[in-house]
Amino acid sequence: MTRLLVLGILDVQPMSGYDIQQALQMTDAERWGGVLIGSIYHALKKMEHEGYVAVTSIEQTGHRQKAVYSITDTGRTYLQTLIKDSLKASSVLYPSTLYSGLSFYEKLSAEECRKALEEQRIALNNEYSAVKRGLEAKDAAMQHKIPPMVNLIMENMFSTIKQQQDFVDKALALLEKDH
């Protein structure tokens, strides 16, 4: 995913590794894209070696120099392959850790299980709030002109979190019913 996002950003305009990191942080890519922001420089160096990106200039900022990268023609072709592959790949993810724990919930006291699920509920509420803050920041940064596809992505993220919240609420209700 890192390669796709980095090449996609560089296909818009040349940037330094730091600028790419800032762009990905602004869009909360660590949350939705599974990208580790610290991996950007490693990915850039590797893709430079493979011919997908090239250093087009070195800029002086204060006492530091930063390399500005551009996508190459080979990189554009590779980006298209990465996009097609990501669109074809199944993205159905199950909360397997939660499912596994619930499969053996009766090995805990009802109180322990309830507390753990309430912590899960809090975590989901925090996730929802974080995604909402990210969307608000993105909306402001884009001057209220978020593309329809990005809005669709955000709606799906909210829907997924809401579905998990409903699931946890139902599990808590079953716990109450059992005891």
Domain ranges in the chain are 2-88, 96-178
Pairing relation of β-strands 64-71 and 53-61?
antiparallel
Distance (Å, rounded) from C-alpha 39 to C-alpha 33? 13
24 has pLDDT over 90: no
pTM above the 0.85 mark? Answer: no
**What's the rounded Cα separation, in Å, for the pair 169 and 164?**
9
Report residue 57: phi and psi, to 5°: -165, 165
- Average pLDDT of the segment spanning 47-68: 91
Q: What is the CATH number of domain 2-88?
A: 1.10.10.10
% of the chain surpassing 70 pLDDT: 99
CA distances from 126 to 64, 98, 133, 151, 162 (A): 38, 17, 10, 20, 12
